[in-house]
Amino acid sequence: MSNYIANIDESNAMALLIEESHQRPVVVDFWADWCGPCKTLMPILEKLAHEYAGAFLLAKVNADEQQNIAAQFGVRSLPTVMVIQNGQPVDGFAGAQPEPQVREMLQKHLPSPWAAAMQEAARLVEAGELQQALTLLRKAYDESNQDLDIALNLAHVLIQCNRFAEAETVLENIRFVDRDARYEQLMADLALKQEASKSPETEALEARLEADPDNLDLRVDLAVQYSADGHHADALEQLMVVLRQNRDHNDGATKKRMLDIIASLGKGDPIAVDYQRKLFGLLY
């Protein structure tokens, strides 16, 4: 038996179907080799078992080989799926179901597979560890197929980190029917932060660069100020402009500054990944 999936026979049925169900839900899949719909459904159940990482046990019962067990549970057609909790069937369905319907059934009996990540992200935000929180939230956002609560939490932390373009993208991807008061508050926060995010020093450097666009040293100074303001994508783009014109600008110091900004964003950060790829393409 793995912690996620087990094959059931009469030697382990009591332990894994009944006793185990007092510790966590057991999802029982009654199937057979000749059953075409069973072969469609089983990969979905196995995928979800791994996704939930042991929050439930997927118990697979070959109904042809284990006819007594199938009869005890009143199985009349295949595939049949039952959810057992505290020794009793509490939910289930007969026939192959698409993944969204299977997920919907599981969600009634299980915590979200991303609940732990959300709790840890909240703790990291409280401790001021925003970059680490972003890493967790981005992963949960992608793996959950852009779950609404995760999306809102991700956008909130992105706004706190001055990652305005990414926050805007996350918010734009929220369905119109889900754009509730929390969404409206985040959009208002985003607009206010964008308006107030540039320091006077940044605005002064922008004006100077506009008047002298060929000044590479001035462009590096603006990149440094952008980075200080939290506008990392803008900073990296300015440094890329410099390096495209002079790959060894300032005896390699500009390239090092760019690598330092990329490193500060953390592994897997989409801005860091994008500009690391651009820099590698330029240099090699």
Question: Which residues are marked as active site?
Answer: 35, 38
- The C-alpha atoms of residue 241 and residue 245 are separated, in whole angstroms, by 7
Which amino acid belongs to residue 8? I
Which amino acid belongs to residue 246? N
Give the pair of three-digit tokens for residue 163. 């990652």
- The C-alpha atoms of residue 269 and residue 263 are separated, in whole angstroms, by 9
Q: Is the CB of residue 46 less than 8 Å from the CB of residue 7? A: no
Tell which phi-psi region holds residue 39, choosing left (phi > 0), alpha (psi between -120 and 50) or beta.
Answer: alpha
Give the pair of three-digit tokens for residue 114. 């991303």
Q: Is the CB of residue 131 less than 8 Å from the CB of residue 139? A: no
Which of helix, strand or coil describes residue 31?
A: strand
The CB-side HSE value for 206 (13 A sphere, CA atoms) comes to 10
Q: For the residues of 83-97, what is the DSSP string, one character each?
A: EEETTEEEEEEES--
Question: What is the signed CA dihedral for 12, 15, 16, 21, rounded to 10 degrees?
Answer: 160
Packing angle between helix 148-160 and helix 164-172, nearest 10 degrees? 160
Q: Is the CB of residue 267 less than 8 Å from the CB of residue 135? A: yes
